[in-house]
Amino acid sequence: MRRPMVAGNWKMNGSRAESAALVDGIVQGMGSVTKAEVVLCPPYILIPLVAEKLAGRHDIPWGGQNLDTHVSGAYTGEVSGPMLKDFGCTYVIIGHSERRTYYHEDDGLVAEKFGAAHAAGLTPILCIGETLEEREAGQTEAVVARQLDAVLAAHGIDGFKNAVLAYEPVWAIGTGKTATPEQAQEVHRFIRGKLAAKDGKVADNLRILYGGSVKGSNAKELFGQADIDGGLIGGASLKAEEFLTICRAAE
Ligand code: PGA
């Protein structure tokens, strides 16, 4: 059985005080979350604060939102996988659509970052998804297949033994426009089927999260779909109560 997972992607949000209050609020409500794995992905600079607050607990792992492919050196402004690991990260988000769009990360670089995560002992949360134009042109499956193929070509199906996927239709991210549970399930089924053609067991064990305007009010229906194993949550992960409602919906 795949353990459900809910990961909070804070994006570039939060002061120290706000973040501390957010973590406290989530910790206080964890008693009501019995099954889902709850993961927090703060901005780099807030990782030490989150790590300090969660030290000694084993129920809330944390991770980065990005990493550089290099281990160390003259790469001004970048943060490496080993640095994330040093601060206790377990996970790292790779290939988020905002990285792909605003920072021009292409499929090849995303595949490299996927490998860099593994090399550092981190579990990549690989994001894939189509834009509105691509969906309207009937290219959804072709786009997610292309994004997956780049990683498969570089790392093989074995690369997915220790990974999490997040299907995030770009048109649903931060827009309030959620994919319907049926729309999301259709793509999730396609993704799992594509990977199952390479290795049924790896595909069966792989957690595929849905992301894009998930809220307390729509999470249950989305997570109720056969191939949706939880969510990657942006805006709604910044409010403890709302985020906890989503975590409970994944049980
Ligand atoms: P959203 O973001 O929940 O604010 O739509 C999701 C994401 O980008 O991971």
Residues with catalytic function: 96, 168
- Cβ of 57: how many Cβ atoms within 10 Å? 10
Q: What is the mean pLDDT of each run of 10 residues along the chain (251 residues)?
A: 96 98 98 96 98 95 98 98 98 98 98 98 98 96 98 98 98 91 98 98 98 97 98 98 98 90
58, part of any domain:
yes
Give me the CATH number covering residue 185: 3.20.20.70
Cβ 213 under 6 angstroms from ligand 1:
yes
56, part of any domain:
yes
Looking at the structure of the chain, the number of domains it has is: 1
What's the pLDDT score for residue 61?
A: 98
Inter-residue contact 47 to 91 (CB < 8 Å): no
DSSP 154-188: HHTGGGGTT-EEEE--GGGTTTS-PPPHHHHHHHH
Distance of alpha carbon 247 from alpha carbon 28, whole angstroms:
13
Q: How far is residue 191 CA from its own chain's centroid?
A: 15
78, part of any domain:
yes
What's the pLDDT score for residue 236?
A: 98
Atom of ligand 1 nearest to the CA of 237: 3
23, part of any domain:
no
126, part of any domain:
yes
Give the structural domain span for 128: 5-11+36-207+226-235
Cβ 95 under 6 angstroms from ligand 1:
no
49, part of any domain:
yes
What's the pLDDT score for residue 1?
A: 82
